[in-house]
Amino acid sequence: MGRFAVNDGLVGRPVMRVDGRAKVTGAARYPADDPVPGALHGFLVTSTVARGEVVGIDKSAALAHPGVVAVYTHADLPRLTVPTFPYIKGFIPLQGTAVHHAGQPVAIVLATTVEQAGEGANLVRIDYRAEPPTASIDDAPQPPHLPKPFRNRPNEIARGDAAAALAAAEVRLEARYSSPPRHHNPIEPHATTAQWDGDSVTVHETAQGVNLTRSVLSTAFGLPPDRIRVLAPFLGGGFGSKGPVWPHTILTVAAARLARRPVRLVLTRAQMFTLTGHRAEFRQHLRIGATRQGKLTALVETTTAQLSRTEESIFNESDSTSTLYDCPNVHIRQEGVPLDLASSSYMRSPETTAHFGLETALDELAWQVGVDPVELRRRNHTAVNQETGSPIRGKRLLDCYRIAAEAFGWSRRAPRPGATKDGDEYVGWGMATEAHTFAAAPATPPVTASVTIGADGRAVVRIATQDIGTGTYTVIGQIAADALGVPLDAVTAVIGDSALPYAGVSAGSATIASITGPVDRAARAARDAVVALAVADPRSPLVGVPAAEVVTAHGHLFHARDRERRDSYRAVVGRHGRPVETTGTLLNAPGHSWGAVFLEVRVHARLGSVRVTRVVTAHDLGRVMNRRTARGQVLGGVTWGIGHALMEHTAYDRSTARVVNPNLSTYLVPVCADTPAVESHFVDHQDPDSTALGARGFGETPITGVPAAIGNAVYHATGRRVRDLPITRDKLL
């Protein structure tokens, strides 16, 4: 079939979210919204010690409490199989007596109401044999070690002879950087509702991956995947925390099976600080060799991250160090230290922590050699993949530097730190490169979309992806409407259900990269099928027209050279007498998106407070599918970058290894008052290596450079270099 005209180019336009009205009116139903007849409410009893063993449980008072139906412990639950990725806990609670971290579930209470379940949980008495825990890398008795690779990505990378190049370098820089633990804190708490029907179970889950959740439950319970259905039609944010599957999900499903009734469990905010992952405590030692002109000759990096006692994954934090700049000699070691804390996980771009050190070090190098920070990055720009040597044909990072610098007015930057003061505030400008690797979807099973066109001429796209607040519903509609040549409101996207055609997790900035091709192919196949019906139908005005000469737009089919000969999707499918159904599949490869962020800070001379007052960004994400939703990702990335740099910090009591700020009143996150206006630009082009209509994954890119840009601006404002995040007043006064 020929390529047909499309619908005035919906792809790329700043289309309003199709689910916006449903969300603001309450019509959008989240996993814990709808009541389930006969359901019990679950509440977890969690350990008060961080290391040790449960030696006794008294649940009599809880069982006597009004409304409490059951209290399950390790003595009650059946033996379950510990799944592998994306279950990154390494063990299932309530399968034994060992305690690996504070806040670990040791019992689950079921009751008629959530209040009764919580009250019952407070009445369960647990006796422990406690051991002294370790809560900080500084306190660890054992040295760091090289853990197993995460998903086949090595934790040690060597290219060239970094040691020799460093020793011979004309200019050397050595610095250490650190970041504290942080937690995701989506506004929607994690929730699971499980309902068994014989040997099959339906799970309503706050999941970034309905199919990954199904896979984990299949392993844990020994069930065929087709006996498990996972639903997540809407999600109130995840930021990585809802990508893995966590113990509360497995425990809820197990409790529902034992109770023979549906069970709903919603985590408290405090429980989310111990049960759903976090960004690990992180240390970074960087040694850089360069020429006097600032050209990199050696990069040596050693990072140390917190591990748990049961899981050793490190999430490729150093990808930027290895690949972002042209450097022939690189040596990277990603080490870990087991602590008595819950397992860490990926959070808002895992690379952000190491990226802070790299982009700060480059700023330090720029000052050391007397080269403008933007020019230094231009001199070290690479147009080839540093690991494979193959060309990167679609990279437009140099354009990002130029566009953002011009829009920001970088050429007017003061030549020395501390030179600009406005009243009581020092003013500083900083910048950083942004980069993130987006993931490839698995080849088996392949990501697949289906399109059904009914007798009303409307199209339904089905694919088991998720909308975690990023606009997936909208972009699916744009892709399908363009391919079919129908109005956007004639397309309905059905997602968030593992019973639909397969798709992967909405994490790793992989959604657009992985689903665009299948949706486009399925829609084009549906259009081809309808055209074939029309040109073969004696009742159609298009009968006998070569299919390649039929174009589609606005829900109609036209002869390309005689627009009076026309038909409609509704008429063609209506005469056909049954819906037209097609599928499409297409694999995607991993890749990168890039950008540059320039910003201004103001530092109060007497108070030490830091305000970010202006931000300009430019990003290369290939083809921009929807400028409105893409800008939303930029705003979110800038907001989280401000939090990462200036306020977010999970504090642990080093004697008990318990979180001391497990709430949003003491764990500070940015609010609207902390976030300035953001001027965002896009280098919009079709990446020739993209299978997603020229687009790339993008969601996590806009956070990566913001923390370093803030730190660099603070240095420009004050002359003080802060290498240990967050940048708080005590470090500036």
Q: Same structural domain for residues 417 and 466?
A: no
Q: Same structural domain for residues 555 and 674?
A: no
Q: Same structural domain for residues 511 and 409?
A: no
Q: Same structural domain for residues 706 and 568?
A: no
Q: Enumerate residue ranges in the chain where pLDDT < 70.
A: 1-8
Helix ranges (DSSP H) in 337-459 = 352-369, 373-379, 397-408
Both tokens assigned to 38: 């006969």
pLDDT at 8 (0 to 100)? 58
pLDDT at 7 (0 to 100)? 46
pTM metric for this prediction: 0.96
Residue 79 in any domain: the answer is: yes
Residue 35 in any domain: the answer is: no
Q: Same structural domain for residues 194 and 79?
A: yes
- C-alpha 248/C-alpha 45 separation (Å) is 11
Residue of 297, 332, 337, 379 lying closest to 144 (CA atoms): 337
Q: Same structural domain for residues 260 and 405?
A: no
Q: Same structural domain for residues 485 and 548?
A: yes
**What is the CATH classification number for the domain harbouring 687?**
3.30.365.10
Q: Same structural domain for residues 192 and 121?
A: yes
User: Which residues are catalytically annotated?
Assistant: 700
Half-sphere exposure of 559 (CA within 13 A, CB side): 14
Please report the beta strands in 424-572, taking only residues with DSSP state E, as ranges in sequence order.
425-438, 448-453, 459-462, 491-494, 550-553, 556-559, 562-568
* DSSP classification of residue 75: T
Q: Same structural domain for residues 570 and 694?
A: no
Q: Cα-flanking dihedrals φ and ψ of residue 652, to 5°?
A: -110, 140
Residue 137 in any domain: the answer is: no
pLDDT tens digit string along 672-706? 999 999 999 999 999 999 999 999 999 999 999 99
Q: Same structural domain for residues 571 and 615?
A: no
pLDDT tens digit string along 431-456? 999 999 887 777 779 999 999 999 99
Q: Same structural domain for residues 652 and 529?
A: no
Residue of 351, 423, 390 lying closest to 589 (CA atoms): 390
Q: Same structural domain for residues 431 and 447?
A: no
Angle subtended at Cα 497 by Cα 241 and Cα 468, rounded to the nearest 5 degrees = 35
- Structural domain tally of the chain? 3
Q: Among 225, 257, 275, which residue terminates a domain?
A: 275
Residue 104 in any domain: the answer is: yes
**What is the CATH classification number for the domain harbouring 87?**
3.90.1170.50
Q: Among 212, 243, 275, which residue terminates a domain?
A: 275
Residue 246 in any domain: the answer is: yes
Residue 141 in any domain: the answer is: no
Domain hosting 235: range is 40-132+187-275
